[in-house]
Amino acid sequence: MTDMDSGTLITLVTIIGSTLGIVLGALTPAIVEGRAVLKALEGMTRQPEAAGDLRTTLLISMALLESTAIYVLLVILVLIFANPVIDRFFPGG
């Protein structure tokens, strides 16, 4: 640990930050989507004749909710595969 240069430090921080970020970014939409599904299921059991409309709305809103997790995933992919900070420290490498 004594000969840790800045590139190693940046890589370490990137990996830890990506892990924490994907944990939080996957956990929050999962909880919120679970609540949405719960409410939609309650509505479907209460009114089975409205199940078709509820299903369409549920799928669309779940796609909208899930896009936040996708944003987190994209940021993390950029951090890992195309890190702009590492490129600044090691140009051309």
Partner 1 sequence: MDRFFPQVVFSIFGIEVRDTVVSTWLMMMIVIALAIVIRRRRPTLLEMLLDFVVDLISDLLGGYRIERYLPFLGSLAVFVAFANILSILPTIPLPGGTMLPIVAPSRDINTPIALAVVVFFSVHYYGMRQQGVLGYLKNLASPIFLLPLEIVGQISRTVSLAIRLFGNVLSTELIVAVVFMLIPLIVPLPVIGLNLFTGLLQAYIFTALAAVYISTGLEEPGESGIEKAAQPDSAGSRPPDRAAPVDAGSVTPGRVR
In the complex, which residues of this chain contact partner 1 (CB under 8 A)?
A: 49-53, 56, 59-60, 63, 66-67, 70-71, 73-74, 77, 81
CB-nearer residue toward partner 1: 62 or 85:
62
Q: Which of 31, 56, 27, 30 is nearest to 43 (CA)?
A: 56
Q: At closest approach, how far in Å is the CB of 75 from partner 1?
A: 10
Q: At what angle do helices 51-81 and 6-46 cross, to 10 degrees?
A: 180
3 backbone dihedrals φ, ψ, rounded to 5°: -100, 45
Q: At closest approach, how far in Å is the CB of 16 from partner 1?
A: 20
CB-nearer residue toward partner 1: 44 or 85:
44
CB-nearer residue toward partner 1: 31 or 63:
63
Q: Which of 27, 26, 24, 56 is nearest to 40 (CA)?
A: 56
